[in-house]
Amino acid sequence: MARTGKLSAVEVIKAKGPAVLHDGGGLYLRVSATNAKSWVFRFQLDGKRRDMGLGPFPDISLAEARAKATEHRKQRHEGVDPLDAKAAQRQAQRVPDAKGRTFRESAVEFIEKNRAGWRNAKHAAQWGSTLETYVYPVIGELPVAAITSPISCRPAARCGGSNTTPLCRSAICPNSSTPCEGVKAWRRGRSNSRS
């Protein structure tokens, strides 16, 4: 087993960047050119190097970073990918928040929060009216967590399929920067910030 504990607390505090300091056992302290410091756990999966952020220093102390690295090393020995485990944990935290919220509630909140960033009032009105006409009747009352890409495509048939206006297509097709996907992504981000 690799020797751990090569860094001292004083070395961590005094570290100047840019640099990457090795503590052992896959734990590294990354120091940027602006001397911002963050902990990284480095491991290999299927012959490829993977880096997992553990948090910034001093929010995460040297002892806390070592404890996290030890936990992740144990996961690797058990055959678990630490990054996948972290993603699954985040997903599990998001689900309870999204379950109670309908797509309509989230969309209305999204439009209100983003209205100021849109070019004009007409654009905001188009979002609202397109969702009201074509999307809410089909998926408006569904929980956000239950909406998948195939479900979000169903309103396209109501709007005329592929022979639609660009606004109608953008409001209901599951591409990036569409209202349906935009609202879902925004809800996921809000769920992350609450956890």
**Residues 47-56 pLDDT 10s:** 888 899 999 9
- Higher per-residue confidence, 103 vs 162: 103
- Residues 106 and 151 reside in one and the same domain: yes
- Residues 75 and 127 reside in one and the same domain: no
- Residues 64 and 123 reside in one and the same domain: no
Residue-wise pLDDT tens digits, 107-135: 888 888 888 887 788 887 888 888 888 88
Q: What is the pLDDT of residue 119?
A: 79
- Residues 123 and 76 reside in one and the same domain: no
CATH number at residue 179: 1.10.150.130
Tell whether the model's pLDDT for residue 186 goes beyond 60. Answer: no
Give the global pTM: 0.49
Q: What is the pLDDT of residue 77?
A: 86
Q: What percent of the chain has pLDDT over 90?
A: 18
CATH number at residue 63: 3.30.160.390
- Pick the most confident of 14-18, 44-48, 90-94: 14-18
Tell whether the model's pLDDT for residue 43 goes beyond 50. Answer: yes
Assess contact for 70 and 26: CB atoms under 8 A.
Answer: no
> Which residue has 């048939």 as its token pair?
157
- Higher per-residue confidence, 106 vs 162: 106
Q: What is the pLDDT of residue 167?
A: 42
- Residues 106 and 187 reside in one and the same domain: yes
- Pick the most confident of 52-61, 107-116, 150-159: 52-61
Q: What is the pLDDT of residue 121?
A: 81
Into how many domains does the chain fold? 2
Question: What is the DSSP secondary-structure string of 61-98?
Answer: -HHHHHHHHHHHHHHHHTT--HHHHHHHHHHHHHHHHH
pLDDT, mean of residues 12-36: 90
- Residues 30 and 71 reside in one and the same domain: yes
Tell whether the model's pLDDT for residue 21 goes beyond 60. Answer: yes
Q: Which domain holds residue 159?
A: 98-194
Burial label, 105 (beta-carbon count in 10 A; 0-12, 13-18, 19+)? middle
pLDDT, mean of residues 137-163: 63
